[in-house]
């Protein structure tokens, strides 16, 4: 996650009552305040704890754990992707040798033997010491017929859980494995997980803090554009060169030969999912429909169905690649699926199945219609993942709400219309949100005012709602005042999304 100066505090300083913000700044951990507090609380609990830390690849899971515990691990091990069990066990044995200070690595033939040796290592440590065990990329360790999970279950239930000094941290990027094999485990680990820490992508305000910390002193408009290409993935942002403009960075990271983020997509999905081609097929289908797709439409497009499609959709949502949006006052069967990850949208718009050789493509096409249209859609997507910031700006954070979309299909006598974000409030008000990306204040024309008023009337007639309707504009720099701007009753600005 970039070149950072890591300053490790002595253990007495780390686990006393200090200001968490000060600690994060020293170790360059941005935005993970709640996660740090949870880990500190588990460390001091006085009993054995089984913690899982999960989230999509490149999100900073290992960075977080290493920065908090690296100089106080009793044992740590990282699984290797696509390596046979014998290689995994050999590397586990090497770590046992390292942490024990022994001259020899034990010969391991099974994971049960491996955990028995780990038990021996722990028992040799001082009784008053908190034993921190960190196993990273655990899904990669669980190779076919390895019996890894069964050995882990026995290690925890028969021994570790009986003690009071174990802090066991399991980490992995394959979110589906972490959830299905650990959180929803129906065997020996059922209800044994004492803490779940899910690391989500950064939001805009956290990206601003991160980028400014690494020397990219960009304004909010530039950071918003950066977010449209990279989302809130810390590793992607760590590749930025503060001495280059945003356009130069995008060319270097996406469009030059062997650009690191051009090849990232295939590697990302293959690392996260078994049968990655099916997941990519679903994402490809969704990428072709900006308004999203119903489950039945995804089935028709991909030829996937039943439990297989359900598993894929659930796993994509768990990894923050897609989100579900219900139709206003409609059944679950009418739920829309839509890509929510900005990086994925950028990849499919500009890189997937394209053969451009122009290494300065982004700089040369920055003001093209294609890029401007994509910016408008990407801004809508970002707004949908910043609902809490929108509610905060509207002053309704404490009011119960539901969010949805609404569509009215056209017929021979009238055109269809839609609202991508409807906020239905418990105080009997509905915000009909319109999202517009612009380089300056957005001007409401006569035609657009008429469109907004007609749409509100159609919405009221179609939904039969008795609630008050409010037209809300979410824009970069606000709505320009003019004779047609009175149709807008509330506003949310780009700055508000950074809250």
pLDDT in tens, the chain (499 residues): 444 433 333 333 333 333 333 233 335 788 899 999 999 999 999 999 999 999 999 999 999 999 999 889 999 999 999 999 999 999 999 999 999 999 999 999 999 999 999 999 999 999 999 999 999 999 999 999 999 999 999 999 999 999 999 999 999 999 889 999 999 999 989 899 999 999 999 999 999 999 999 999 999 999 999 999 999 999 999 999 999 999 999 999 999 999 999 989 999 999 899 899 999 999 999 999 988 999 999 999 999 999 999 999 999 999 999 999 888 987 666 789 999 999 999 999 999 988 888 999 999 999 999 999 999 999 999 999 999 999 999 999 999 999 999 988 877 666 778 999 999 999 999 999 999 999 999 999 999 999 999 999 999 999 999 999 999 999 999 999 999 999 999 999 999 999 9
Nearby residues of 465 by Cβ (< 8 Å), 6 or more positions away: 430, 459
CA distance linking residue 96 with residue 495, whole number of Å = 50
The pTM of this model reads: 0.90
Task: From 280, 405, 308, select the one nearest 295 (Cα to Cα).
Answer: 308
CA atoms within 13 A on the CB side of 48: 17
Backbone angles phi, psi at 483, to 5 degrees: -70, -15
Question: Measured at the alpha carbon of residue 318, what is the angle toward residues 313 and 322, in degrees to the nearest 5?
Answer: 55
Token code pair at residue 486 = 């009175």
DSSP label of 364: H
CA distance linking residue 495 with residue 477, whole number of Å = 8
Task: From 35, 101, 93, select the one nearest 69 (Cα to Cα).
Answer: 35
CA distance linking residue 317 with residue 68, whole number of Å = 29
Task: From 473, 494, 442, 479, select the one nearest 221 (Cα to Cα).
Answer: 494
């Amino acid at each position: 996650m970039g070149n950072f100066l890591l300053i490790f505090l002595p253990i007495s300083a780390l686990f006393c009552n200090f200001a968490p913000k000060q600690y994060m700044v020293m170790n360059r951990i941005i935005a993970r305040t709640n996660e740090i507090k949870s880990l500190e609380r588990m460390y001091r609990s006085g009993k054995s704890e089984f913690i899982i830390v999960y989230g999509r690849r490149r999100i900073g899971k290992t960075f977080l754990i290493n920065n908090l515990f690296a100089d106080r691990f009793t044992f740590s091990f990282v699984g290797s992707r696509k390596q046979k069990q014998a290689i995994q066990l050999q590397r586990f044995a090497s770590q046992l040798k390292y942490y024990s200070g022994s001259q020899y690595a034990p010969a391991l033939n099974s994971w049960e033997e491996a955990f028995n040796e780990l038990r021996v290592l722990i028992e040799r440590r001082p009784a008053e010491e908190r034993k921190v065990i960190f196993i990273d990329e655990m899904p990669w360790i669980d190779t076919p017929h390895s019996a890894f999970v069964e050995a882990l279950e026995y290690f925890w239930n028969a021994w570790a859980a009986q003690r009071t000094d174990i802090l066991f941290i399991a980490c992995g990027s394959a979110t589906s494995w972490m959830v299905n094999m650990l959180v929803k485990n129906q065997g020996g680990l059922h209800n044994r997980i004492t803490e779940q820490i899910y690391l989500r992508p950064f939001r805009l305000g956290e990206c601003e803090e991160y980028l400014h910390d690494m020397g990219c002193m960009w304004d909010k408009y530039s950071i918003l554009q950066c977010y449209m290409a990279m989302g809130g993935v810390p590793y992607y942002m760590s590749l930025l060169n503060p001495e280059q403009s945003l356009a130069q960075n995008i060319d270097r990271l996406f469009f030059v030969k062997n650009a690191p983020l051009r090849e990232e997509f295939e590697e990302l999905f293959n690392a996260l999912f078994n049968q990655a081609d099916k997941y990519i097929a679903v994402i490809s289908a969704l990428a072709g429909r900006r308004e999203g797709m119903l489950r039945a439409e995804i089935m028709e497009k991909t030829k996937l169905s039943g439990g297989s499609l359900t598993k894929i959709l659930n796993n994509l949502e768990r990894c923050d690649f897609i989100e579900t949006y219900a139709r206003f006052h409609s059944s679950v069967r009418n739920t829309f699926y839509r890509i929510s990850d900005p990086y994925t949208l950028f990849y499919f718009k500009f890189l997937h199945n394209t053969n451009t050789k122009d290494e300065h493509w982004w700089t040369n096409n920055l003001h093209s219609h294609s890029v401007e249209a994509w910016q408008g859609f990407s801004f809508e997507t970002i707004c949908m993942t910043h609902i809490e910031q929108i509610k905060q700006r509207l002053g309704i954070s404490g009011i119960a709400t539901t969010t949805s979309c609404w569509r009215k299909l056209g017929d021979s006598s009238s055109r269809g219309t839609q609202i991508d974000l409807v906020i239905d409030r418990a105080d009997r008000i509905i915000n009909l949100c319109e999202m517009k990306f612009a380089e300056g204040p957005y001007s409401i024309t006569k035609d657009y005012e008429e469109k907004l008023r007609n749409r509100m009337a159609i919405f009221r007639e179609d939904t039969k709602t008795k609630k008050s309707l409010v037209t809300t504009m979410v824009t970069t720099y606000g709505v320009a005042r003019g004779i047609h701007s009175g149709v807008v009753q509330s506003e949310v600005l780009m700055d508000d999304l950074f809250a």
